Copies of this chain bind each other. A is one copy, B any other.
Amino acid sequence: MTHTPHPGHLAIVGLGPGMRDLMAPRAIQVIQESDLVIGYRVYLEQISDLLTDKEIHVSELTHEVERATLAVQSAHAGRRVCIVSSGDAGIYGMAGLVLDLFSHSSDTDTITEPSVEVVPGISALNAAAALLGAPLMHDFAAISLSDLLTPWATIAKRLAAVAEADFVVVLYNPSSRKRQWQLGEAQRLLLVHRAETTPVGLVRNAYREGQKVQLTTLSHLLEHDVDMFTTVVIGNSCTRIQQARMITPRGYESRA
A20: which B residues are within 8 A, CB to CB? Answer: 25
| B99 touching A245, Cβ below 8 Å | yes
The interface size of chain A toward B, counting residues with CB under 8 Å, comes to: 74
A14–chain B nearest beta-carbon distance, Å: 8
A120: which B residues are within 8 A, CB to CB? Answer: 22, 122, 126-127, 129-130
Determine which of B26, B91, B122, B158 lies in contact with A136 in the assembled complex, contact meaning CB atoms within 8 Å.
B91
Determine which of B92, B127, B157 lies in contact with A137 in the assembled complex, contact meaning CB atoms within 8 Å.
B92
Determine which of B16, B140, B148, B154 lies in contact with A141 in the assembled complex, contact meaning CB atoms within 8 Å.
B140
Determine which of B16, B144, B155 lies in contact with A24 in the assembled complex, contact meaning CB atoms within 8 Å.
B16
Whole-angstrom CA separation of A19 from B93 in the bound complex: 23
Q: A99-B247, A149-B254 in contact; A24/B21 too (CB < 8 A)?
A: yes
- Asked whether A150 is an interface residue with its Cβ less than 8 Å from the other chain, the reply is yes
- Asked whether A47 is an interface residue with its Cβ less than 8 Å from the other chain, the reply is no
Q: Which of A48-56, A162-170, A180-188, A217-225 contacts B (4 or more CB under 8 A)?
A: A162-170
**Most chain-B Cβ atoms within 10 A of its Cβ — which of A29, A91, A140, A243?**
A91
Among A111-132, those with CB < 8 Å from B are 118-123, 126-127, 129-131
| A148 touching B251, Cβ below 8 Å | yes
Oligomer copy total = 2
Whole-angstrom CA separation of A161 from B250 in the bound complex: 20
**Most chain-B Cβ atoms within 10 A of its Cβ — which of A90, A143, A158, A253?**
A90
Task: Look across to chain B and name the residue whose beta carbon is closest to the beta carbon of A249.
Answer: B96
| B139 touching A142, Cβ below 8 Å | yes
- Asked whether A5 is an interface residue with its Cβ less than 8 Å from the other chain, the reply is no
A62: which B residues are within 8 A, CB to CB? Answer: none
- Asked whether A138 is an interface residue with its Cβ less than 8 Å from the other chain, the reply is yes
**Most chain-B Cβ atoms within 10 A of its Cβ — which of A96, A135, A158, A245?**
A96
Task: Look across to chain B and name the residue whose beta carbon is closest to the beta carbon of A19.
Answer: B26
A19: which B residues are within 8 A, CB to CB? Answer: 26
- Asked whether A95 is an interface residue with its Cβ less than 8 Å from the other chain, the reply is yes
- Asked whether A23 is an interface residue with its Cβ less than 8 Å from the other chain, the reply is yes
A170–chain B nearest beta-carbon distance, Å: 10
Task: Look across to chain B and name the residue whose beta carbon is closest to the beta carbon of A113.
Answer: B243
Determine which of B90, B136, B144, B157 lies in contact with A130 in the assembled complex, contact meaning CB atoms within 8 Å.
B90
A149–chain B nearest beta-carbon distance, Å: 2
| A91 touching B149, Cβ below 8 Å | no
Which 7 A-B residue pairings sit nearest by Cβ, starting from the closest?
A149-B251, A96-B137, A96-B134, A95-B134, A161-B165, A103-B242, A120-B130
